[in-house]
């Protein structure tokens, strides 16, 4: 799985950025704000990549920050939100503005994305508004302990994702483990407790 690409922008065609990485061109789909920002870039650029594998094709979706990639994965876990719609949401506003809109329940902003109606936007807000605490945004403030806990929770979720669990389900299980009293700074304990919850869900 491709997780990160660093190289020269060979060309930008609408929302597809072709990145030349040591002589190999990778076609990476980006939202329009990223595509515009990368058009004509002279220096090497780095894209955080989500790799989608299907029977029809292998598709790469690229983001300039790990936080954007994280939000993209949360979005595509929502029913009826595919990669195209998720890119549309991310391209609607800068990351901080969109995350704060989701946190505050502003479905109207999400509904301005072409192809997304108000009911779908409300579902996005309902499912994601409590899952965005780990996203670090400019202007957000937290204590050192809160920051360490968020980092541990993020590491636990990432660990579960590498085991094949969907990120949204992994995050729910980790947060439930914290709510049940698992030490939030102990990544191994969080993963173990979350695994027990995920196993119970699968068995049920």
CA distances in angstroms from 73 to 14, 45, 116, 158, 169, listed in the order given: 22, 21, 17, 12, 11
Q: How far apart are the first and last CA of the chain?
A: 31
What CATH code is carried by the domain that includes residue 41? 2.40.50.140
Below-70 pLDDT ranges, the chain? 134, 136-148, 202-204
78 in the same domain as 56: no
88 in the same domain as 54: no
81 in the same domain as 38: no
**Residue 14: CB atoms within 10 Å:** 9
User: How many domains would you assign to the chain?
Assistant: 3
CA distances in angstroms from 131 to 70, 102, 124, 128, 150, listed in the order given: 11, 10, 11, 5, 12
Pairing of strands 4-13, 16-21: antiparallel
- Burial letters 70-103, b for 16+ CB under 10 A, else e: bbbbbbbbbeebeeebbbbbbbbbebeebbbbbb
156 in the same domain as 123: no
Largest CA distance in the chain: 54
Of the three residues 12, 47, 63, the one that is the final residue of a domain is 63
120 in the same domain as 83: yes
- Residue 110 belongs to a domain: yes
Of the three residues 63, 88, 114, the one that is the final residue of a domain is 63
- Residue 94 belongs to a domain: yes
Structural element, H or E, at residue 8: strand 4-13
| Residue 195 structural domain | 144-203
77 in the same domain as 59: no
* pLDDT for the residue numbered 163: 84
Of the three residues 128, 158, 177, the one that is the final residue of a domain is 128
What CATH code is carried by the domain that includes residue 104? 1.10.150.20
* pLDDT for the residue numbered 142: 47
- Residue 139 belongs to a domain: no
* pLDDT for the residue numbered 62: 96
pLDDT digits over 13-38, tens only? 989 999 999 999 999 999 999 999 99
- Residue 10 belongs to a domain: yes
- Residue 136 belongs to a domain: no
77 in the same domain as 123: yes
**Residue 25: CB atoms within 10 Å:** 13
192 in the same domain as 149: yes
Give pTM, 2 decimals. Answer: 0.68
* pLDDT for the residue numbered 147: 58
- Residue 52 belongs to a domain: yes
């Amino acid at each position: 799985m491709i997780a990160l690409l660093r190289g020269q922008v060979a060309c930008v065609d609408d929302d597809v950025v072709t990145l030349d990485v040591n002589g190999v061109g990778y076609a990476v789909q980006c939202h329009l704000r990223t595509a515009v920002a990368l058009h004509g870039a002279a220096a090497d650029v780095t894209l955080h990549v989500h790799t989608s594998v299907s029977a029809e094709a292998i598709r790469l979706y690229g983001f300039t920050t790990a936080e954007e990639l994280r939000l993209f994965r949360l979005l595509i876990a929502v029913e009826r939100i595919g990669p195209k719609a998720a890119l549309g949401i991310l391209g609607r506003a800068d990351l901080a503005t969109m995350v704060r809109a989701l946190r505050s329940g502003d479905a109207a902003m999400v509904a301005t994305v072409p192809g997304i109606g108000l009911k779908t936007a409300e579902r996005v807000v309902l499912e994601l508004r409590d899952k965005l605490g780990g996203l670090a945004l400019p202007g957000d403030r937290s204590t050192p302990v809160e920051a360490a806990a968020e980092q541990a929770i993020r590491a636990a979720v990432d660990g579960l994702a590498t085991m094949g669990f969907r990120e949204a389900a992994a995050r729910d299980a980790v947060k439930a483990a914290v709510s049940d009293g698992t030490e939030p700074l102990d990544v191994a304990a969080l993963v173990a407790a979350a695994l027990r919850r995920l196993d119970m869900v699968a068995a049920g």
